[in-house]
Structure 1
Amino acid sequence: MPKEGLPFFPSDKVMSQDEIIEMVENFAEMGISKVRITGGEPLLRTDVVDIVRRIKNVDGVEDVSITTNGLFLGKLAKDLKEAGLDRLNISLDTFDPKRYKEITRGGNIQQVLDSISVAAKLHFKKIKLNTVLIKGQNDDEILEFLNYTKHNDVNVRFIEFMPIGNSMKTWKKEFVGLDNVFDICKQNGLEYTPIELKGNGPSDNYQIKGNEGSFGLIHPITAKFCENCNRLRITADGYVKACLYWNEEISIREAIPDKKKFRQLIQRALDNKPLNHEMAMSETDRIIDEAPTWRHMSQIGG
């Protein structure tokens, strides 16, 4: 979260529950079977449980997941599970209470750890922890995250820091290569082997010998997965983003009731979906709007 915070959209600019469900129905008719609810922080919506339940009941939707900071998850986990939520991604960049408070501008790390414990007992299909490594902020905690998988059946996903909402100078100074994770394993005698996890996420996954959980590496910078990306992101105010990095957006909100127009706009977004992002510094000629997105990472959900 930026130090200065972020303004909330006026309520009339955010899609209603009915709009969201009708939009998902349109996507399901086009063959989409997996839906992830992200943010910002999706659990701030008071109707999030109803949204999950209604999405899960849409014909053709097979999997519903949420990415959350976990602060409100402990109170909502049981209701979300009963509503049909399949999987959870929880953002967790540090185990240090003081650091966590600084990173989140006031969050309580114990609430998140308690939420993970509550969710683990409910047996979601998978619980993943998203950890963005940043030099000088949490790169000294890699071993602690690896050790967390010893007795916790979670997948800790180390993610390369992306230059979204940050200057290139700051990003270069704070970037941490994920080979550091392997180095830490070797330095501490941790034996690991590659594993396959269900799903089609972008992480390369490994398990340390004797551990219940696993860890994954996501390389949006050093090992781009753009050509295999099969995701479309819809913002809270009703724009489709084919790539979270680029500024190119198409408004689809008004077209939701018109299935033909909706399909045309989505097809346009797909046709314009870039082969690459500037973070990989090549093949950017297909981008219509070459400016990086104006939205901050905490507005588009990572």
Structure 2
Amino acid sequence: MISEKIILTPYLFKTRINGKEYIGNLLNNKYFIENSEKIEEIMNYFTELKNVPEKMNKDIKLIESLVKAKILASEKNLMLPLPNIELEITNYCNSSCVMCPRSKLSRKKGFMSEYIFGILTERLKELPVNEVEICGVGEPLLHKNVAEYVKKLKDIGINRVRINTNGSLLSDEKARALVESGLDSITISFHTIDPTKYFWMMKGLNYYNVLENIKNFIEKYKKNVEVTITCVVSKYNIDEIEGFKNFWKEISIDNIYFQNIQSRAGNLYSVENPAQKCKCPVFEQGLYISFEGKYLSCSNDFSGESSWGSIEESGLKECLNYKLNLIRKQELFEFCRYCDYDFQEQKYLKTNFHKHVTYPGV
């Protein structure tokens, strides 16, 4: 008999394998349970935190299997697994890319202060965070302390520190400082290999300068830092995919991340997906911290309306408990209904391209 109270976990999904429906958990996706009316009945019963009643004794083995698959969890084991941190050290940017609706950014703009960053590093010591991705809706290399912040993150034991950049400020001096700070991975946004298109798709940047920065980084530091090129696919560059892969392969880059263009929660173009307001793996598996130290849902919150606190007010445990309650209730944020992010389509690929879809107007 299971003595602890049991509850249905978040992160569940259904999939079909060989014509049969299975239930799995995104955090344990090697273990699937074939769905049945009995399993649906058990899952429905444990949507609230309850003890296993005696009448379910005959189903104990099945309940134990659901616990093993992380479809059900005991009260003492139910906690939101620590997400990777997406850290915005600035939301200023030196480019105006066609796939980024920065003109809609209405929340305060600025740079993360040493004071806020100091609080952050103390908060990160509370739980064993695996990865911090320095990204957000700005260009991280604009921050004068970016290399220093990377070093401090590594010094407190963060296993993997990654930076997303447009590469325009990746001078040899900056590159060397980042590598010496202990940077593990760098992702560079480069959305077309056509110089003419580049100048208007990534306004404000110089195609040839950025390409030279990338080549220099590859030549000197590829052995030290993982390098990925990311490309947002739209009608403007869909015809380049094969040439794009070959282009970067010749420059000795194997990791290419193709991502469908997104509505950015309705900020780039209009779309409505009410189901997205109830469940979002991006929200469930990530934690976005703004330059002010505020907890936000994700980088698509351009107004700051999803903020439920800050690192000054509450630690990571309190933050994760709040998120878990939202996930249990399936009540996310109003702007989520205008997001068309498809989690299942976003994959790192080795010079391959996942299937794409065409979006209106882009």
Residue 140 (str. 1) matches residue 239 (str. 2): yes
Partner-residue secondary structure (3-state), 2:258: strand
Cα distance in structure 2, aligned partners of 1:166 and 1:35: 26
Question: How far, CA to CA, are the matches of 1:293 and 1:265 in structure 2?
Answer: 26
1:72 aligned to which of 153, 169, 175: 169
Alignment check: 8 A CA contact 2:284 2:327 kept: no
Contact persistence 2:232–2:258 (CA under 8 A): yes
Moved more, 62-71 or 114-123: 114-123
Amino acid at match of 2:243: E
Equivalent pair of 1:21/1:51 in contact (CA under 8 Å) = no
Whole-Å separation in 1 of the counterparts to 2:168 and 2:282: 34
Which consecutive segments of 4 or more residues in structure 1 shift more than 3 A?
A: 2-11, 242-247, 272-275
Shift of 1:28: 3.1
Q: What amino acid does structure 1 have at the position aligned with 2:201? A: I
Indicate whether 1:153 and 2:253 are aligned: yes
Which residue number in structure 1 is paired with residue 281 of structure 2? 226
Matched, 1:32 2:90: no
Equivalence for 1:128? 228
* Match of residue 168, structure 1, among 270, 293, 304: 270
C-alpha separation between the residues in 1 aligned to 2:246 and 2:144? 35
Partner secondary structure for residue 330 of structure 2: coil
**Percent same amino acid at aligned positions?**
26
- Would the aligned equivalents of 1:74 and 1:111 in 2 still touch at CA under 8 Å? no
Structure 1 23/132 Cα, relative in aligned 2: closer, same or farther at 3 Å?
A: same
Residue by residue, what CA displacement relative to the aligned partner does 1:232-270 show, whole Å, maximum 9, x if unpaired?
111122222344456522231432xxxxx3245412443
Gaps of 5+ in 2: 1-95, 347-362
Closer/same/farther in 2, CA of residues 100 and 86 from structure 1, 3 Å limit: same
> CA separation in 2, counterparts of 1:149 and 1:88?
15
d(CA) in 2 for partners of 1:264, 1:74: 38
Structure 1 residues 243 and 43, CA gap change in structure 2 (3 angstroms): closer
Counterparts in 2 of 1:2 and 1:119: CA distance versus 1, 3 Å:
closer
Q: Output the amino acid matched with 2:245.
A: L
**Relative to 1, partners in 2 of residues 1:166 and 1:238: Cα closer, same or farther, differing over 3 Å?**
same
Amino acid at match of 2:130: S
Distance 2:170 2:183 in 1: 12
* TM-score normalised over the length of structure 1: 0.65
| 1:92 match | 190
Please report how far the alpha carbon of residue 38 of structure 1 lies from its aligned counterpart in structure 2 after TM superposition.
0.9
2:150 is aligned with 1:52:
yes
Distance 1:114 1:154, change over 3 A: farther
* Counterpart AA for 1:226: P
Q: Which has the higher contact order (CA 8 A, sep 6+)?
A: 2
Shift of 1:72: 0.6
Give me the whole-angstrom Cα distance separating, in 2, the residues matched to 1:74 and 1:243.
Answer: 29
Gaps of 5+ in 1: 172-220, 256-260, 276-284
Distance (whole Å) between structure 1 residues aligned to residue 106 and residue 335 of structure 2: 23
Name the CA distance, whole Å, in 1 between partners of 2:130 and 2:102: 35
**Match of 1:166, as an amino acid?**
L
Does 2:293 correspond to 1:238?
A: yes
Match of residue 116 from structure 1? 214
Deviation, structure 1 residue 272: 4.5
Asked if 1:254 corresponds to 2:312, the answer is yes
Structure showing greater radius of gyration is 2
Partner of 1:16: 113
| Residue of structure 2 aligned with 1:82, choices 164, 180, 190 | 180
- Give the total of aligned pairs: 229
Cα deviation, residue 2, structure 1? 6.3
Distance 1:38 1:264 in 2: 22
Pairwise CA distance, 1:24: 2.8
CA deviations on 1:75-112 (whole Å, 9 max, x unpaired) are: 31111001111110001101112211112222111122
Give the TM-score normalised by structure 2: 0.55
Determine if contact 2:134/2:162 at 8 Å carries over to the other structure.
yes
